[in-house]
Chain A
Amino acid sequence: MIRLKNVSFRYEAAKEPSLRDIDFTVKRGEFVILTGLSGCGKTTLTRVLNGLCPRFYGGEITGSYTLDGMDTAGMTLNEIGTKIGNVFQDPRSQFFATNTTDETALAMENRNYSPALMRSRINEVADMLGIRELLDRDIFGMSSGEKQKIAIAAACCVHPDVLILDEPSANLDPESTSQLAGFLKTLKELGMTIIVSEHRLYYLSELADRMIVMEKGRVKREFPHDQMSALTEGELTELGLRFLKLPEINRPERSSQREDSFLTVDDITFKRGRTCVLNRISMSAERGKILAITGRNGVGKSTLCKVITGIYRERSGSVLYYGGKLSPRKRVNSSFFVGQDADYQLYGATAREELLINMGKAPELAEKAEMLLTRFDLSEYSERHPASLSGGQKQRLLIAAAIMRERPLLVLDEPTSGLDGKHMRDLAVLLREAADSGLCILIVTHDTEFIALAADEVMNLQRDK
């Protein structure tokens, strides 16, 4: 089905090639996982496969790429697109229409299908994937999981031979991830060739026929299914990958408040318009401990964190630090919130400048910044622009910025969503160190592996109505 021979690719603006001498074959109907440390080239490989490199993202390509027996060198993006369907990572930026049905029909409209054929395909795909109730809705109100399902449906409507997915579980909660696995199983049973570029391996371990691990632009190892299942945790850690099975979590539940906690949340209510997002929530947290906050998507975890850190003002109830009630403004000054999307939170021109923004010019601060950069493994990037760093590096930079400001409370919202195994483990170690030095850390996360490594206690937030 797909055959890459000796393919190398270098982006126009880059000095080094991102892919080197890739030999890669995929048979029809195979399910392949592409994985590896961030920066290994898996995204570039998916772009070569779907034709975006070099047609959209300019650059130099060598080697041959045969798709279903045809040489792709002369094919246009559109022609490749009829054979390969794509699901990209960020649902917010891949949707063109505002209505889900329109989005599903987009690929077909562009290929001039008749309205009757389009409607029948939409019905067929909706039944196959069980998403009828998601049709004809406004995408602005939908959750990431729902959007991802629509994206898959949209890709399937033109009956592609191959489906390529780029980190599809990045923004999904465990329930949505298992639904995603169900979708992929259905598609595999229908004979579709599926290539998934992913860090999270546990939900695919049963489905995959092969797993390919990349490193620095080359194919490092290839594991057929049996060998893959036989990999030990030690071997996976060495490869920098996440585990193939989710660990058990046996951490104490943080249920009720305790006296003399550092952070106390007392009977908080928060409303958005008429919807009650947080209904009389109470909890507490200690300095020196890491508390993981879990719960389904939409239950209000991020909102709770924003109330705790003072971004939002509570409708009723109070947030207390050391027993003293604080106004939202004071809370902002005593905490640091690292949100999901690093793009919104980086302002400096260099990594070093990022740590020193709005902090003044005292020489001790510059020294402290240097020390933090070293400790967070960023000193070789200290002159680089923050936006050019990888996801994991941006996370570390933001946490370093938090520690620069010496705030006692650090709150992180899904810090591991795009992280590979190695960086996820490194982050757990870093946070552990930060907690040991006295910080109170709250982490909103779905990442079970991360919770097992980093959290001292777990709190499950539920909607109790």
Chain B
Amino acid sequence: MQQGRIYPLTSLDVRVRVLLLIPVSIAAMLITDETLLCCLFALAAVWLLMFGLHKKALAYILVYAALWAVLFPLREMQIPGSIPLLTVYVRRIIIAVMGAAPVMSAPTGRLIASLHRMKLPKTAVLSLAVFFRFMPTVSMEYRCIREAQKFRGIGTSIAGVLLHPFLTAECILVPMLMRTSKVADELAASVSVRGMQLEGECSSLHEVRMGAVDWLVLVLGFTAVAVLFAADRSIGGSV
């Protein structure tokens, strides 16, 4: 998560991010021509860069390139089965994930504010906020658990895991679940005393307003995807 640095689209209205996610996902699934798909991918990469998500963009580019490189020789060699399918499928999923990235990296306060304005039920808004708040921490907690396990000789080698699957699983699940349970209780207590309720009105620190830039990006985004669609149609793909 970038701190403090301002990239061109850092303050883009979250609703625009969500709205643009939809055509990008649909396009990722439906566009047939390879070149156009790559154009969509390039657009998605630029989209990420505009938010300052350089590392993610680079990672996705590398994976996409690797999958592409693997696809053609596989096709030549006529290997049946799921690996070629995978490379095609996964590339499209990557594009959809890239579309979602700016939504997931928005600070939760702004996310909540925007979702609120979109008149989503409070249950849904709170659920999403909690989700985004805790997804990143799970991997860290997992790592803590695994580190501690090493001193008991659990899960230190593949052989060990295969020989004692239940012990390993128990020693991961039990601390993880106990910890998650505790965190859930403490978080709920912490926000309850600060007045969070499912009923009732609440305001928002962030004023959610569509500015000129937001509209511009929205229109440009939709147009770009529409152009790709049209090009795809005309080349002869069936949508």
Contact = CB atoms under 8 A, between A and B. Distances in A.
Given A93-B183, A337-B148, A56 B192 contact: yes
Contact of B178 (A78, A343, A402): A343
Contacts of B186: 88, 90, 93-94
B197 to A, nearest CB: 7
A373 B229 CA distance: 71
A347 B4 CA distance: 41
B204 interface: yes
Given A50-B193, A140-B136, A357 B154 contact: yes
A308 B167 CA distance: 27
B196 to A, nearest CB: 5
Given A137-B3, A306-B147, A357-B152, A347 B204 contact: no
B160 to A, nearest CB: 9
Contact of A344 (B141, B194, B197): B141
Interface centre among B107, B147, B205 (most CB of A within 10 A): B205
B193 A138 contact: no
A332 B190 contact: no
Contacts of B137: 92
Contacts of A337: 147-148, 151
B79 interface: no
Interface stretch (A8-16, A108-116, A424-432, A446-454): A108-116
Given A110-B195, A138-B3, A347-B171, A358 B108 contact: no
A402 B150 CA distance: 12
B108 A109 contact: no
A162 to B, nearest CB: 12
Interface residues of B, number: 55
Nearest to B111: A98
Contact of B152 (A50, A105, A113, A358): A358
A101 B193 contact: no
A345 B108 contact: no
A401 B150 CA distance: 13
Given A106-B196, A337-B151, A344 B1 contact: no
B145 A112 contact: no
A110 B178 CA distance: 29
Interface centre among A81, A95, A98 (most CB of B within 10 A): A98
A105 B204 CA distance: 8
Given A336-B151, A347-B174, A98 B182 contact: no
B154 A335 contact: no
A303 to B, nearest CB: 12
A140 B1 contact: yes
A464 to B, nearest CB: 26
B76 interface: no
Interface of B: 1, 3-4, 107-110, 129-130, 132-133, 136-137, 141, 144-145, 147-154, 156, 164, 167, 170-171, 174-175, 178-179, 182-183, 186-197, 200-207
27 contacts: A77-B193, A78-B195, A81-B195, A82-B195, A88-B189, A92-B137, A96-B191, A98-B133, A105-B109, A105-B205, A108-B203, A109-B204, A110-B195, A110-B202, A112-B200, A112-B201, A112-B202, A113-B203, A115-B206, A118-B203, A140-B1, A310-B150, A347-B152, A357-B154, A357-B167, A358-B152, A407-B151
